[in-house]
Amino acid sequence: MSEYRGYTGASLTFLKESKVKIGDSVKITEDLTYTGIIMPRYENTDDNHIAIKLKSGYNIGIEIKKIKKIELISSEKIEKKSTSEVKSDSTLPKILLLSTGGTIASKIDYRTGAVTPALSAEDLSAAVPELAEIANIDASVLFSEYSENLEPEHWKKIAEKLDSYAKSDYKGIVVAHGTDTMQYSAAFLSFALAGYPVPIVLVGSQRSSDRPSSDAALNLISAVRFVVESNTQGVFVVMHHNESDDLAVAHLGTRVRKNHTSKRSAFQTIGNDPAFLIFDKKIEQNLKTDFFKQREYNPKLNFDKHVALVKYHPGYNPKIIDFLIKSGYKAIIFEGTGLGHVGKTMYEYVKKANENGLFMGMTSQCIDGRVGMNVYESGRDLLELGIIPLSDMIPETALVKAMWALGNSTNAEEMKNLMIQNIASEFSD
């Protein structure tokens, strides 16, 4: 790590002139006095601030113009830690740990206090020594991104990488992933890799491993145990079940949603219990359902981003629909109100979208429950205008599925058939 990583212009000059660098403990006096460690900065930031990690663990930005005094308290030499050696036991099953980034793949450097997003998968498995007793872990870094920055192009890269191991002797694959958009990636992999011969688990953490309440270790151990012990197939998300440290669960990749911004139990299966309970001593299948409706492995790795997710609300401007049509969108997933409605003000443009050949699917912003477009006249009107009800598919999954279905079909009929077919439990029984 560079001594001034991320600092440019005025802030870089300031640090150099003050003879302090990243990792140094400093005392800064402006209107208030702060003691903390100078942190690296990341792209897209200005050069007017320096970042300090306080003892509380919080990072703050301080405007350099306001700094009256900066004093060096202690300075640490920055060196690359050598990769830990991982034990290998040939009697254990072999799994792959693929890292894509996120909090779980972040290393806290205890000297600098910085969260480094580029923790290698080797480091990850070395950081949790229990893993070596469960499986022989091959580790690989695909990329290192916080998941809010992932795009469908990243989904495809992950899918291609996993596809390349479809005939390997891995008992399962664990994908370390940021939690922000984990459910979107899980949905894509569920469709793209339907019928994959071994279980694929996405795992993340809500709190980085330097916090006493971190969920990283339990989640990772549970994910590895799940792919080794569950004897299942399909794409799952493994995370904490509750705020205690004794139970992790596996959610179906198409039915999971991040329902809390910060809790360790943020991830929930919508409309049902989680698919598997991962206890300390055993793994219990909780849902009596075949996860992958499609049994044969027949990867379909493409996507087409021309899909909009339209959350309807009072005052929604129907001209946005017109803009989508004119911008070449090919599908719209509505998050309608209640049983799957949009207001009458939308009808004209819904009709136009239909005439222009856009696929339109209806989900509900209620998130839980099924759309039911035959109950009220307004639902029936929308059916007549060409909107396809998507039962209890959750809106985000429907969005991802539409991108996937568009990318892997050659005409509207084929795309629609993919949308209404139950491929990976995106529709509950």
Q: Residues with catalytic annotation?
A: 103, 179-180, 258
Residue written as token pair 């990318």: 407
Q: Which of 176, 342, 387, 394 binds its own copies (CB under 8 A)?
A: 342
- Regarding 14 and contact with its own copies (CB under 8 A), the answer is no
- Determine which residue in the list 2, 9, 344, 414 makes contact with its own copies, applying CB under 8 A: 344
Residue for token pair 């990769």: 83
Tell me the closest approach of the beta carbon of residue 427 to its own copies, in angstroms. Answer: 14
Sign of CA dihedral 307, 103, 122, 198: negative
Assess 152 for contact with its own copies (CB under 8 A).
yes
**Closest residue by Cα to residue 79 from 21, 144, 2, 189:** 2
Interface residues for its own copies in 159-218 (CB under 8 A)? 179-181, 184-185
Q: Phi first, then psi: what are they for 26, rounded to 5°?
A: -135, 160
Please give the size of the binding site for its own copies, defined by CB under 8 A: 78
Confirm or reject binding of residue 225 to its own copies (CB under 8 A): no
Rounded to 5°, angle at Cα 115 from 114 and 120: 125
| Residue 219 binds its own copies (CB under 8 A) | no
In the complex, minimum distance from the CB of residue 305 to its own copies, in angstroms, rounded to a whole number: 4
Closest contact distance (angstroms) between CB of 83 and its own copies is: 25
- Compute CA 336 distance to the chain's CA centroid, rounded to the nearest angstrom: 24
156: contact with its own copies by CB under 8 A: no
Does residue 377 interact with its own copies by CB under 8 A? yes
Q: Is 63 in the site for its own copies (CB under 8 A)?
A: no
Which strands sit side by side in the sheet containing 49-54, from one edge to the other?
59-63, 49-54, 33-38, 25-29, 69-74
In whole angstroms, how close is the CB of 12 to its own copies at the nearest point?
17
**Which part of the chain contacts its own copies (CB under 8 A), choosing from 143-151, 222-230, 245-253, 274-282?**
143-151
Residue 3 binding its own copies, by CB under 8 A: no
**Residue 428 contacts its own copies per CB under 8 A:** no
What are φ and ψ of residue 90, in 5° steps?
Answer: -70, -10
Of 349-368, which residues contact its own copies (CB under 8 A)? Answer: 364-368
Output the CA–CA distances (angstroms, integers) from residue 189 to 138, 201, 237, 271, in the order listed: 21, 10, 11, 21
Would you count residue 8 as binding its own copies (CB under 8 A)? no
Shortest distance in whole angstroms from residue 74 CB to its own copies: 25
Q: H or E segment at 396?
A: helix 395-407
User: Which residue in the set 33, 149, 231, 242 belongs to the binding site for its own copies (CB under 8 A)?
Assistant: 149
Q: In which residue are the tokens 């891995």 written? A: 170
Quote the CA–CA distance of 411 and 396 in Å, as a whole number: 23
CA 254 – CA 396 distance, rounded (Å): 9
CB of 10 to its own copies, least distance (A): 15
3-state SS class at 72:
strand
- Taking CB under 8 A as the rule, does residue 406 contact its own copies? no
Q: Is 369 in the site for its own copies (CB under 8 A)?
A: yes
Q: Is the dihedral of CA 399, 403, 405, 406 positive or negative?
A: positive
- The answer to whether 130 touches 55, Cβ cutoff 8 Å, is no
State yes or no: residue 396 binds its own copies (CB under 8 A): yes
Considering the rule CB under 8 A, would residue 426 count as an interface residue with its own copies?
no
**Does the protein bind its own copies through residue 345 (CB under 8 A)?**
yes
Spatial neighbors of 256 by CB under 8 A, at least 6 apart, are: 182, 183, 186, 237, 267, 268, 269, 270
Please pick, from the candidates 317, 355, 357, 414, the single residue that binds its own copies as defined by CB under 8 A.
317
Q: Output the six-digit token pair for 253.
A: 């990749």
Nearer to its own copies by Cβ, of 111 and 207: the residue is 207
Shortest separation between residue 315's beta carbon and its own copies, angstroms: 4
The nearest distance, CB 47 to its own copies, in angstroms, is 12
* Tokens found for residue 316: 């929604």
Which residues inside 269-298 make contact with its own copies, applying CB under 8 A?
none
Taking contact as CB under 8 A, which single stretch among the options 74-82, 165-173, 194-202, 252-260 is the one that binds its own copies? 252-260
Q: Which of 12, 60, 67, 78 is in the footprint of its own copies by CB under 8 A?
A: 60
